[in-house]
Amino acid sequence: MPEQLEKTVDTPLKHLVNPAYEKWRLLKDRLARYGVVLGGLGVIVAIVLIFFYLLYVVLPLFGSASAREIAQYATPQQQSGKSLLLDAEEQNEVAARFIDNGQIVFFEVASGKVVSTETVKIPPESRITSIAKGSTVSQGVVAYGLSDGKMFIAKTQYKINYDNNGRHILPTTVYPVSEQPIIVDEAMTALEAIAVNLSGDTVTIAAKTAQAVQLVNINQEKSLFSDEVKTNRTVATIDLPADKVEKLLLDKQGGHLYVLDKTGMVYAYNINDKASPKLKFQQKIISADAKVSSLVFLNGDISLLAGDSTGQITQWTQVKDALNNPVLKNIRNFKLADKPIVAIDPEQRRKGFIAMDDDGAVGIFNTTAERELITLKIGESRPVNAIVSPRANRLLVESADGKMHHWNVDNEHPEVSIKSLWRQVWYESYSKPAYIWQSSSASNDFEPKYSLVPLVFGTLKAAFYAMLFALPLAILGAIYTAYFMDPKMRQIVKPTIELMGALPTVIIGFLAGLWLAPFIEKHLAGLFLTLIALPVSVLICSYCWQLVPQHLRQKAGEGWEGSLLIPAIIIVTWLSFTLSVPLEAWLFNGSLRDWFNNRLGIGYDQRNALVVGIAMGFAVIPTIFSIAEDAIFSVPKHLTTGSLALGATPWQTMTRVVLLTASPGIFSAVMIGLGRAIGETMIVLMATGNTPVMDFSVFQGLRTLAANVAVEMPESEIDSTHYRVLFLAALVLFLATFIFNTLAEVIRQRLREKYSSL
Amino acid sequence: MISSKTNTWLQSGAPWIWFTAAAVSASLIMIIGVLLLITVRGIGHFWPADVSSFNYQETNGQLKTLYGEIIDTSETPAAAARISGYNMADNEEVLVQYQIKTGNRDVTGSDFRWIQERNIKQQDTPPELSVIERREWGNFYGTLLAVKDKSGVIAQGDAAWQAAQDKITETLDIHDEISHLEKKEIGAINYRLEQLRLKRRKLEITGQLTESAKTEIETEKTGLNKRYQELQTELSKLYQQSRNASLLVKTDSGAEITIPLAKVVRLYKPNVMNVFGKIGHYFVKLGEFLTEEPREANTEGGIFPAIFGTVLMVLIMAVIVTPFGVIAAVYLREYAKQGFMTRLIRIAVNNLAGVPSVVYGVFGLGFFVYILGGNIDRLFYPESAPAPMYGTPGILWASITLALLTLPVVIVATEEGLARIPKSIREGSLALGATKFETLKNTVLPMASPAIMTGLILAVARAAGEVAPLMLVGVVKLAPTLPLDGNFPFLHMERKFMHLGFHIYDVGFQSPNVEAARPLVYATALLLVLVIIGLNLAAIIIRNNLREKYRALEG
């Protein structure tokens, strides 16, 4: 130190005469000041940056969709005929128009320029009487029903070629079943409505003629040894009066045929046995004064969407009723406007759809989130056909005035809304609305279930049990250490407990998962017995101690009760665990766990909330202990001595003076402990089964927000909905701990001022 | 009636005081218990346990010989055992079961099994039982019959042992050479080839790919490829050599199997080792644990890459966090006017300390990795696209994320140190004409350096044990290369790394063979606990010394 002092004294003196150097010194001083101030404010910047960055990622979830028209052009080859259907491909470059004369016109989406035209080989003597997209919709299969009882199946294919000029898409048409028309109705009457399901070598066709509704199943078996193809054909008739039938739908699983009749009644047939379809149930899907104007499957073919003449769109899904019978249930409704719905087109990869009405209004909806994302007005005249591109980012609408409208849709996160995050949602094929977290699956048909409620519930449950375990131990321990304990012992005890706060949570979690969980599973009764035996034995110890002669007590010294209790606690615990075995055999027929299960119906998970409570409680004890102990210890001494001098016992002084004064400090300790328990990741990750269930039982597992983020974040695709929802989970955690910590810090600062004034 | 003595006892509040005392004692017992548990299980892992031979009657009455180490004992009371479906005689009170490690996973399909004590007809520890540690399929337990060569049996009976040991040493040398060639030499060539590819691509993008540059790259590439071919020939020769010899061994069921020596790490007979032999073996295994790479999906071998990754990550973090933490603390103590602003900053510091670590991970992944890293890639490494360089989790981002996480620790400790420096010292310096900055630089900060050190050590201890954020920003279960190696620029900040804490989580919970990996997890946990407690104790000692010193100064 003297050397340094010498230096500081020496240098300025030497250069005292040099004004340039003086300036330089002052400049340096000023620069340093700015630098330091900047650095200090950097801390605030950091915390604000974290908050705003999280918010920046989360916000797009709640924005509505936007759309703008990119192009408008005359319908390509308008002169050839009326459009029956539209089709678009993945890259948004080429689209197709299916014309009623059998032509398929492929054109550039951007400009409407015709790329190529193909003609389906419809026999000259017949004409097209019905058309339908084949299931699965994304395959691009189109079925034509003909006037002579035959049908034709065509499929669009878009081949992608790369050359020096970039990507080229070559549209072609193929005939997946046969190049010849397929005979559906042997009576050769016109097919007025048609539905097709194509899976592998099997084609299922439902067709309605003037006389009957028929279900035809054609299975082509290729022989292993020759080119011979064996065709099996079964025909079944649906027992419904054909004149009433309006629309047929076959689901992609091949299990159901839905028939809509003119009165708005939907009949569902189980067609697993193609030769004998069975009526599963029937359900009227419309009110008396309305008429169904459009009926389609939602992506996944589990739900039906019905648009009606009042502008309402209803979603229907199959659920089991109270008697376990399948019924069609109306799970939610959307309203576009008051005009009749003209067409509904489901998105191919999400549970969303677009709907158009007579007036030219187009709405984009999502069913899971129950959101209307945007309503557009397209063109001046009535829309006739519309298609959403496979990636759901473009919209192609044909209007009655012969125009084609090409829109760009920016609709990245339709499946999330405040409701889908925080309220019960009626998911497809669930019997009732529920809180469910189930984020991902391999298939596009999956309905992602982003309810944060089970995760928040798990977080609070884990924190609750942890606090239940930690609070008594930490606060009582802090009281004793700060006030009653011998100073010599305190010098050892406090750092020891604080040192445990530094123990990595991954180690606590690993012990909890691999050691404590199996241990508790085996010794459940022992644990409960210990919980009862310990307080009793402490009471007995205390009573016995006051019977010990005074001089012996003084020799042992006051403030050393803790050390006396250590062997007692160890022995009692050991005894409890040993005795619990015969006790369990005697009272609970061998195993308390089985007894709970058989008698009370309480299931037992090995990694459950009890294990988490103990492990995480153990982890937060040092935090709470340390802060609470500081608060109690720094209560000014004159307060306590005053109280004692007035004749209060030490315990009275403790409860009436010390605790009251230190209570804000203890409160802030609890807040900080709670904040830590809520955000703790590794312990819950390892000590629970990570099942997002909502069950209050202490023997059941849980999944917390933090563990969920840790598990799912590495697998989520950047900027996807899942990714943003996980950021939202992080933001919720951030805000929760922010509130707890700020509250704690403000209280602590107040307390510090109060103490200094005392 | 309660006697008056009891009454006064109750009124004095003594029972309550005892309850508070019990809370402290219970906490202490738990803490010591946890430490003891980790220590006992962690230390025991390397000790060569005796291998027993059991004459065991299976439940179907068949008598069998089993070799194995007893790992665990379980006692189930008769009632509970009956529920679980065991046949218990009336006079039996407990069902005692042993978990034995039988090894030979290639033969039996599993490493462990439970046996009932009552069905053990005979148990002893025959001296000839050998343990073979292998690179695949876990340990082998059995007896050594013969050592074979390409030409046939070269030793059997009593001579086999020595011959086997000699051969093992020989093969291990070859193995070392192979791994040196593969990891170092061929690794370096591959690295340089990749660099060449990137260089070419970069020139291509910037339009500077002239013919001369092309030929230059091609020549270099040919040279490297040629060298690669040479090494490959050398390698295959070594592989050929290492495959020559094998051991013929007999399992407990009497089956004779051949274990190629290339797969053998160690051969020993624990039953004939004396205490010193066992201690020697213990330290060899401990050394292997600390310095070798993991084997068999991390369940065997060492944890060197994890230690290395942890240390390197923590060092980079320390370099980043120290200046920021110290500057912030200096601002709070020396420059800022105590008032609303400092209160706000203190709240911010406390919040930084309280934000869940996994949120830092999320922030690090989104902000550092995707935004910063993605832009760095776009600006400086367009040649490596579409493969990301910095736009993917790596050690740099992990270090920065943890620096942010440990910033409050450094700030608080430094601030405390600064607060303890008596005012008189600053005033003395200023009175002598020094500017505030000079006072700070020459007087205050040197005096506060032990406090800064304390903060840094605590930060390091915190970072070393943190896992949740690392899972998002750069840790992997198995890193093919260390982030520091002999290839220019030596320190590869974009690489992913292994970490002790994550290793515990991964091996203990994600591994296909948790049971076999458990001892290793305990050993790793013990190491981590020792490091962290050591660091914390160091911080406490430094801090205490500091307090003494200032007390002297003030006096």
Considering only A344-358, A637-651, B82-96, B161-175, which range has the smallest mean pLDDT? B82-96
The reply to whether residue A33 touches residue B38, judged by beta carbons under 8 angstroms, is no
In chain A, which residues have their Cβ closer than 8 Å to the Cβ of B6? Answer: 543
Chain segment A608-630, per-residue pLDDT in tens: 899 999 999 999 999 999 999 99
Domain that includes residue B113, residue range? 52-126
Chain segment A221-277, per-residue pLDDT in tens: 776 666 677 788 888 888 888 888 888 998 888 888 999 988 889 999 998 888 888
> What is d(CA A608, CA A524) in angstroms, rounded to the nearest whole number?
12
- Position A15 scores a pLDDT of 52
Domain final residue pick, A446, A463, A498? A446
Q: Determine, yes or no, domain membership for B535.
A: yes
Report yes or no: B112 and B130 within 8 Å, Cβ to Cβ.
no
Q: Is A130 exposed, middle or buried (0-12, 13-18, 19+ CB in 10 A)?
A: buried
Q: How many CB pairs under 8 A join A and B?
A: 362
Q: Which A residues, 597 through 636, put their C-beta within 8 Å of a C-beta on chain B?
A: 618, 621, 625
A54 touches chain B (CB under 8 A): yes
- Position A5 scores a pLDDT of 47
Residues B239, B178, B266, CA angle at the centre, nearest 5°?
85
**H-helix or E-strand containing B369?**
none
A569 touches chain B (CB under 8 A): yes
Considering only A351-360, A501-510, A552-561, which range has the smallest mean pLDDT? A552-561
Q: Determine, yes or no, domain membership for A535.
A: no
Q: For chain A, how many structural domains are there in total?
A: 4
Considering only A266-275, A676-685, B2-11, B524-533, which range has the smallest mean pLDDT? B2-11
Chain segment B470-496, per-residue pLDDT in tens: 999 989 988 888 888 878 788 888 899
- Distance (Å) from the C-alpha of residue A423 to the closest C-alpha of chain B? 24
Residue of chain B minimizing CA distance to A516: B34
Check whether residue B194 and residue B119 sit in a common domain: no
Count CB atoms within 10 A of the CB of residue B425.
Answer: 17
- Distance (Å) from the C-alpha of residue B323 to the closest C-alpha of chain A? 9
- Distance (Å) from the C-alpha of residue B344 to the closest C-alpha of chain A? 8
Q: Which A residues, 110 through 139, put their C-beta within 8 Å of a C-beta on chain B?
A: none
The reply to whether residue A543 touches residue B355, judged by beta carbons under 8 angstroms, is no
In chain B, which residues have their Cβ closer than 8 Å to the Cβ of A680? Answer: 356
Residue A3 has pLDDT above 60, yes or no: no
In chain A, which residues have their Cβ closer than 8 Å to the Cβ of B436? Answer: 29, 32-33
Domain final residue pick, A254, A284, A314? A284
Q: Determine, yes or no, domain membership for B20.
A: no
Count CB atoms within 10 A of the CB of residue B451.
Answer: 28
Query: Cis ω on the peptide bond leading into residue B489 (within 30° of 0)?
Result: yes
Q: Determine, yes or no, domain membership for A104.
A: no
Mean pLDDT of all residues in A359-373: 89
- Distance (Å) from the C-alpha of residue A352 to the closest C-alpha of chain B? 28
In chain B, which residues have their Cβ closer than 8 Å to the Cβ of A675? Answer: 354
Q: Determine, yes or no, domain membership for B31.
A: no
Check whether residue B168 and residue B90 sit in a common domain: no
Q: Determine, yes or no, domain membership for A318.
A: yes
Q: For chain B, how many structural domains are there in total?
A: 3
- Distance (Å) from the C-alpha of residue B141 to the closest C-alpha of chain A? 26
Selected residue with higher pLDDT from A5 and A529: A529
Give me the percent of chain B exceeding a pLDDT of 70: 99
In chain B, which residues have their Cβ closer than 8 Å to the Cβ of A479? Answer: 20
Residue A8 has pLDDT above 70, yes or no: no
- Position A224 scores a pLDDT of 67
- Position B297 scores a pLDDT of 77
The reply to whether residue A506 touches residue B467, judged by beta carbons under 8 angstroms, is yes
Give the nearest partner residue to B518 out of A7, A514, A542, using CB atoms.
A514
Q: Is A111 exposed, middle or buried (0-12, 13-18, 19+ CB in 10 A)?
A: exposed
Q: Best mutation site among A527, A548, A611, A682 for testing chain B: the one with the most B CBs within 10 Å? A: A682
- Position A557 scores a pLDDT of 66
Give me the percent of chain B exceeding a pLDDT of 90: 34
The reply to whether residue B435 touches residue A26, judged by beta carbons under 8 angstroms, is yes
In chain A, which residues have their Cβ closer than 8 Å to the Cβ of B20? Answer: 476-477, 479-480, 484
The reply to whether residue B429 touches residue A686, judged by beta carbons under 8 angstroms, is no
CA proximity to A189, closest of A162, A157, A213: A213
Task: Give residue A36's pLDDT band: very low, low, confident or very high (50, 70, 90).
Answer: very high
Three-class SS of A646-707 = CCCCHHHHHHHHHHHHHHHHHHHHHHHHHHHHHHCCHHHHHHCCCCCCCCCCCCCCCCCHHH
Chain segment B222-266, per-residue pLDDT in tens: 999 999 999 999 999 988 888 888 888 888 888 888 888 888 888
In chain A, which residues have their Cβ closer than 8 Å to the Cβ of B528? Answer: 504, 506-507
Check whether residue A318 and residue A261 sit in a common domain: no
Q: Determine, yes or no, domain membership for B280.
A: no
- Rounded to two decimals, the pTM is 0.90
Q: Is A162 exposed, middle or buried (0-12, 13-18, 19+ CB in 10 A)?
A: exposed
Give me the percent of chain A exceeding a pLDDT of 90: 28
What is the sign of the dihedral through the CA atoms of A100, A101, A102 and A103?
negative
CA distances from B138 to A104, B109, B243 (A): 65, 11, 19
Region class of B76: left (phi > 0), else alpha (psi between -120 and 50), else beta: beta
- Position A1 scores a pLDDT of 42
Residue A101 has pLDDT above 70, yes or no: yes
The reply to whether residue A497 touches residue B31, judged by beta carbons under 8 angstroms, is yes
Q: Is B151 exposed, middle or buried (0-12, 13-18, 19+ CB in 10 A)?
A: exposed
Domain final residue pick, B93, B126, B159? B126
> What is d(CA A589, CA A607) in angstroms, rounded to the nearest whole number?
23
> In sequence order, what E strands does B41-111 have?
52-57, 63-77, 94-101
Residue A248, classed as helix, strand or coil, is: strand
What is the sign of the dihedral through the CA atoms of B114, B120, B124 and B129?
negative
Strand order in the sheet with A114-119: A83-88, A94-99, A103-108, A114-119
- Position A326 scores a pLDDT of 87
Domain final residue pick, A446, A464, A496? A446
**H-helix or E-strand containing A159?**
strand A150-163
Strand order in the sheet with A66-74: A66-74, A403-410, A394-399, A383-388
CA distances from B511 to B299, B465, B478 (A): 8, 20, 12
Give the nearest partner residue to A493 out of B15, B24, B82, using CB atoms.
B24
DSSP labels for A189-231?
A: ----EEEEEEETTEEEEEEE-SS-EEEEEEEEEE-SSSS-EEE
Mean pLDDT of all residues in B402-428: 91
Beta carbons within 8 Å of A175's beta carbon, 6+ residues apart: A152, A153, A154, A155
CA proximity to A662, closest of A419, A425, A483: A483
Question: The CATH number of the domain where A395 resides is what?
Answer: 2.130.10.10
Chain segment B111-125, per-residue pLDDT in tens: 888 888 888 888 888
Check whether residue B205 and residue B174 sit in a common domain: yes
Task: Give residue A422's pLDDT band: very low, low, confident or very high (50, 70, 90).
Answer: very high
Chain segment B39-69, per-residue pLDDT in tens: 999 988 888 888 989 988 888 888 888 898 8
Beta carbons within 8 Å of A424's beta carbon, 6+ residues apart: A433, A434, A435, A451
In chain A, which residues have their Cβ closer than 8 Å to the Cβ of B438? Answer: 8, 11-12, 25, 29
Residue A2 has pLDDT above 60, yes or no: no
Give the nearest partner residue to A590 out of B24, B77, B465, using CB atoms.
B77
Report yes or no: A365 and A337 within 8 Å, Cβ to Cβ.
no
Domain final residue pick, B272, B297, B321? B272
The alpha carbon of A292 is separated from its chain's Cα centroid by a whole number of angstroms, namely: 34
Check whether residue A356 and residue A330 sit in a common domain: yes
The reply to whether residue A562 touches residue B442, judged by beta carbons under 8 angstroms, is no
Residue A4 has pLDDT above 60, yes or no: no
Question: The CATH number of the domain where A474 resides is what?
Answer: 1.10.3720.10
DSSP labels for B249-288?
A: EE-TTS-EEEEEGGGEEEEE-GGG--HHHHHHHHHHHHHH
Residue B174 has pLDDT above 70, yes or no: yes
Task: Give residue B1's pLDDT band: very low, low, confident or very high (50, 70, 90).
Answer: very low
DSSP state of B365: I
Q: Determine, yes or no, domain membership for B27.
A: no
Three-class SS of B486-528 = CCCCCECCCCCECCHHHHHHHHHHHCCCHHHHHHHHHHHHHHH
Residue B421 has pLDDT above 50, yes or no: yes
Q: Which A residues, 712 through 751, put their C-beta within 8 Å of a C-beta on chain B?
A: 713-714, 718, 726-727, 730, 733-734, 737-738, 740-742, 744-746, 749
| Mean residue pLDDT across chain A | 87
- Position B395 scores a pLDDT of 94
Task: Give residue A695's pLDDT band: very low, low, confident or very high (50, 70, 90).
Answer: confident
> What is d(CA A47, CA A739) in angstroms, rounded to the nearest whole number?
13
CA proximity to A360, closest of A394, A317, A389, A403: A403
Report yes or no: A727 and A54 within 8 Å, Cβ to Cβ.
yes
Task: Give residue A199's pLDDT band: very low, low, confident or very high (50, 70, 90).
Answer: confident
Check whether residue A640 and residue A747 sit in a common domain: yes
Report yes or no: B51 and B271 within 8 Å, Cβ to Cβ.
yes
Q: Determine, yes or no, domain membership for A491.
A: yes
The reply to whether residue A506 touches residue B504, judged by beta carbons under 8 angstroms, is yes
The reply to whether residue B37 touches residue A511, judged by beta carbons under 8 angstroms, is yes
Q: Which A residues, 460 through 489, put their C-beta within 8 Å of a C-beta on chain B?
A: 472-477, 479-481, 484-485
Check whether residue B407 and residue B344 sit in a common domain: yes
What is the sign of the dihedral through the CA atoms of B316, B322, B328 and B331?
negative
Encode burial over A71-103: b for 16+ CB neighbours within 10 A, e otherwise.
eeeebbbbebbebbbbbbbeebbbbbbbbbebb
Q: Determine, yes or no, domain membership for B150.
A: yes
Chain segment A652-669, per-residue pLDDT in tens: 899 888 988 888 889 999
The reply to whether residue B436 touches residue A742, judged by beta carbons under 8 angstroms, is no
Q: Determine, yes or no, domain membership for B437.
A: yes
Check whether residue B528 and residue B421 sit in a common domain: yes
Q: Determine, yes or no, domain membership for A140.
A: yes
In chain B, which residues have their Cβ closer than 8 Å to the Cβ of A712? Answer: none
Domain final residue pick, B126, B160, B188? B126
Check whether residue A633 and residue A650 sit in a common domain: yes
Q: Determine, yes or no, domain membership for A96.
A: no
> What is d(CA B393, CA B472) in angstroms, rounded to the nearest whole number?
7
Domain that includes residue A400, residue range? 65-81+299-446
A518 touches chain B (CB under 8 A): no
Task: Give residue A474's pLDDT band: very low, low, confident or very high (50, 70, 90).
Answer: very high
Count CB atoms within 10 A of the CB of residue B480.
Answer: 10
Check whether residue A437 and residue A377 sit in a common domain: yes
The reply to whether residue B34 touches residue A744, judged by beta carbons under 8 angstroms, is no
Check whether residue A369 and residue A353 sit in a common domain: yes
Q: Determine, yes or no, domain membership for A592.
A: no
Count CB atoms within 10 A of the CB of residue A272.
Answer: 12
Mean pLDDT of all residues in A330-355: 89
Check whether residue A497 and residue A625 sit in a common domain: yes
In chain A, which residues have their Cβ closer than 8 Å to the Cβ of B13? Answer: 649-652, 654-655
Q: Which residues pair with A328 in a beta bridge?
A: A318
Q: Best mutation site among B6, B7, B18 for testing chain A: the one with the most A CBs within 10 Å? A: B18
Count CB atoms within 10 A of the CB of residue B351.
Answer: 26
Q: Determine, yes or no, domain membership for A645.
A: yes
- Position B315 scores a pLDDT of 93
| Mean residue pLDDT across chain B | 88
> What is d(CA A193, CA A170) in angstroms, rounded to the nearest whole number?
31
- Position B49 scores a pLDDT of 86
Report yes or no: B117 and B94 within 8 Å, Cβ to Cβ.
no
Q: Is B355 exposed, middle or buried (0-12, 13-18, 19+ CB in 10 A)?
A: buried
DSSP state of B184: I
Chain segment A125-154, per-residue pLDDT in tens: 888 888 888 877 667 888 888 888 888 888
Report yes or no: A504 and B501 within 8 Å, Cβ to Cβ.
yes
- Distance (Å) from the C-alpha of residue A4 to the closest C-alpha of chain B? 7
Q: Determine, yes or no, domain membership for B285.
A: no
Q: Best mutation site among A1, A36, A594 for testing chain B: the one with the most B CBs within 10 Å? A: A36
